[in-house]
Structure 1
Amino acid sequence: MDDDALHSIGELARLTGLTVKTIRFWSDAGVVPPTARTPAGYRLYGQEALARLGLVRTLRDLGVGLVDIRRVLEREITVTEVAAAHAEALEVQIRTLRLRRAVLRAVAGRGATPEETELMHKLANLSDRERRRLIHDFIDHAFEGVGADDAFMTAMRGSVPVLPDDPAPEQVAAWVELAELVQDDGFRAGMRRAAEDQVRAAEEVGRPGPEETRKLADIMRARTDAARAAGIDPASEEARPVVDELVRRSAELSGREDGPEYREWLLERLEIGDDSRYERYWRLVAVVNGRPETPGMGPAVKWLIAGLRASGVGGRAEG
């Protein structure tokens, strides 16, 4: 090919496979200016224009805008700088698209109403900072000033859910449910009341260590799970030895003696803390963070409450 040859816009289109309309548009934008013109004013393009067209097409295919392409061609910025900026922009777009996909799958999976769909979209599209602020606001409202120990507050603040860049539909659904839950005034008030009660109880009987508390929780789950598996009604005589063992172990942990007064005290503590939404909170946090769910205490607490009530604790026996 003659390096000095000039081509009409039609010839350039045949050489490159681009349309005449596209070449004319890029030429009008100044990224592929004509090399010369015919006496009649028609554009003519040389080898430099042909080379430019190759670069322009590549950059356009990568999503680079004509303004930036022109700056590259005029040596105002480098291709490296443009590539880095657009790669970062694409990362943001990809994260957004992944989140939208997860929201849509979550909507389809739960058969959401238009109102629920709008809420899910709004809550899922909060920034990481906005999501953290939402959870920290809940923690402050529920626990600030109640006297909870530092370890508990550190654990609460350290368990903030973090929605990943490519969330699964169940993570989006869990985050939306969690965001709704922590804004519920009733849940906040219940959490605060339970926290205040735990602080008062610790002041009365001392604060058991985490290892002892965990051991008692494991025993409670094991004994009540076995009782339920065996079909033992907590109100039955068959349940009495299990109830007595659990109360005795709890009293030992608290440094107190088992008896009517302690059982009344224990029943009140159990009932104040018996709210399925507490465990739901931790399950949702685990799902959002992609971690295994820890066994809950809800069924064990309910079984023991029923057993205590059936034995006459609390002023009424359940029959």
Structure 2
Amino acid sequence: MPDDMWSIGELAESAGVTVKTVRFYSDRGLLPEAVRSGGGHRRYGPEALDRLRLIRSLRALDLPVPEVGRVLEKEDVLEDVVAGKLRELGSQLAALRWREAALQLLQDCTPGERTDRLRLIGAVTSPPSTAGLTRFWRGWLPPRLPARLVSAIIEEAVPQPPAEPTPAQVLAFARLHAFVSRPCRGDSDRGQPEVHQPGKGYRPAVLYDGLVEAYALASADVRSRRPPSEGEALDCFVSAHASARGARDTPDFRRELGVQLATEPRIDHYWRLVAEVNASQNPTPGATDNWLRAALGA
């Protein structure tokens, strides 16, 4: 045998690992043998030590053996493997933060509240998914809206779970999930406005296109807590409703619209919970709609 050939024991000792470890990686083709001795024993060249150290470094990052094999076969995949691991760790950390806040929520409540809160939290995945909220909006919105409009509405209406939630945000999101998940029996807080109902002659796509613009115009006033008042935002709001009905913006129309909107079913409970989840100064579409309705009434 050449002088620079090592036995499996010598390689293990040089690398600071067990013989079992070397054999494990050899059997999986990650650590190729240079030759076999006359007695059939494994012999390794000096490059095996570098390979073994690289394997240990990759495994120390918790990369699974198949991913280690991919990196050894083609080093340029290391960037993709690392990116995938970072995404996985991000999801795990988000789940741990959510569980920590949920445990604090249970720890800080009274015994009488604990059972109800445990039921709410138990119905939400960790980290939480927004799929249930998205399904709610796809069912609540009128049919045949343009896909780009549906996407824009859902993006604004569905809150993303906070990366580092407080116990209060965990509770708000759990209540929001329960709200959209329970069966809808026609109760007013989840009912449909008249413009959603077919056969009424309304054009919901025209309405929602206009509302998106009206909410954007009014958001600065709502954020600054200005009193509801006339202006461009209210004009755009009324115009959206008038266009959806094939009507003109007149004083009579505004009076009739104010009466109709006052009697329509609302999902205010949803928007209150969204505001608690977001915990930011940005107004929700629900808060902006309330401001515009109050401006119309004034």
Q: TM bucket by the smaller chain?
A: 0.5 to 0.7
Aligned to 1:240: none
Q: CA separation of 1:79/1:288 partners in 2, compared to 1, >3 Å: closer, same or farther?
A: farther
Q: Does 2:97 correspond to 1:102? A: yes
Aligned to 1:89: 84
Aligned to 1:135: 136
- Matched AA of 1:101: L
5 Å-filtered alignment, 1:249-268, equals none
- Matched AA of 2:37: T
Provide the rounded CA distance (Å) in 1 between the counterparts of 2:253 and 2:140: 27
How far did residue 281 of structure 1 move?
A: 1.8
Structure number with greater Rg is 1
Aligned to 1:80: 76
Secondary structure of 2:157's match?
A: coil
Runs of at least 5 residues in structure 2 that lack an aligned partner in the other structure:
107-113, 201-210, 229-250, 289-298
Aligned to 2:206: none
5 Å-filtered alignment, 1:53-68, equals 53-68=52-67
Secondary structure of 2:63's match?
A: coil
Aligned to 1:292: 281
Q: CA separation of 1:188/1:15 partners in 2, compared to 1, >3 Å: closer, same or farther?
A: farther
Secondary structure of 1:44's match?
A: strand
Range with bigger deviation, 59-68 or 18-27:
59-68
How far did residue 89 of structure 1 move?
A: 2.4
Secondary structure of 2:193's match?
A: helix
Provide the rounded CA distance (Å) in 2 between the counterparts of 1:135 and 1:86: 36
Provide the rounded CA distance (Å) in 2 between the counterparts of 1:144 and 1:37: 72
Note if contact 2:5-2:45 (Cα within 8 Å) is conserved in structure 1.
yes
Provide the rounded CA distance (Å) in 2 between the counterparts of 1:154 and 1:274: 23
Secondary structure of 1:168's match?
A: coil
- Matched AA of 1:160: A
Note if contact 1:161-1:289 (Cα within 8 Å) is conserved in structure 2.
no
Provide the rounded CA distance (Å) in 2 between the counterparts of 1:134 and 1:39: 68
Aligned to 1:280: 269
How far did residue 47 of structure 1 move?
A: 0.8
- Matched AA of 2:75: V
Note if contact 1:178-1:281 (Cα within 8 Å) is conserved in structure 2.
yes
Aligned to 1:173: 171
Provide the rounded CA distance (Å) in 1 between the counterparts of 2:155 and 2:9: 65
TM-score, with length taken from structure 1: 0.54
How far did residue 138 of structure 1 move?
A: 4.8
How far did residue 288 of structure 1 move?
A: 3.4
How far did residue 144 of structure 1 move?
A: 6.3
Q: Does 2:13 correspond to 1:14? A: yes
Secondary structure of 2:43's match?
A: strand
Superposed CA RMSD? 4.8
- Matched AA of 1:79: E
Note if contact 1:35-1:44 (Cα within 8 Å) is conserved in structure 2.
yes
5 Å-filtered alignment, 1:1-319, equals 4-73=3-72, 77-81=73-77, 83-111=78-106, 113=115, 115-121=119-125, 124-126=127-129, 130-131=131-132, 133-140=134-141, 157-164=154-161, 166-169=163-166, 170-185=168-183, 189-191=187-189, 195-196=193-194, 272=263, 278-292=267-281, 294=283
How far did residue 190 of structure 1 move?
A: 0.9
Note if contact 1:106-1:173 (Cα within 8 Å) is conserved in structure 2.
no
Provide the rounded CA distance (Å) in 2 between the counterparts of 1:154 and 1:98: 28
Provide the rounded CA distance (Å) in 2 between the counterparts of 1:287 and 1:193: 22
How far did residue 183 of structure 1 move?
A: 3.3
Note if contact 1:31-1:70 (Cα within 8 Å) is conserved in structure 2.
yes
Note if contact 2:67-2:81 (Cα within 8 Å) is conserved in structure 1.
no
Provide the rounded CA distance (Å) in 2 between the counterparts of 1:165 and 1:41: 59
Instruction: Tell me the number of residue pairs that the alignment of Structure 1 and Structure 2 aligns.
Output: 235
Runs of at least 5 residues in structure 1 that lack an aligned partner in the other structure:
146-151, 201-208, 221-251, 257-261, 298-319
Q: C-alpha offsets along residues 118-141 of structure 1, whole Å, 9 cap, x if unaligned? A: 30227x543x5x24532323532x
Sequence identity, in percent?
25
Aligned to 2:243: none
How far did residue 290 of structure 1 move?
A: 4.8
TM-score, with length taken from structure 2: 0.57
Note if contact 2:170-2:277 (Cα within 8 Å) is conserved in structure 1.
yes
Q: C-alpha offsets along residues 124-164 of structure 1, whole Å, 9 cap, x if unaligned? A: 543x5x24532323532xx669xxxxxx9998545222325
How far did residue 108 of structure 1 move?
A: 1.4
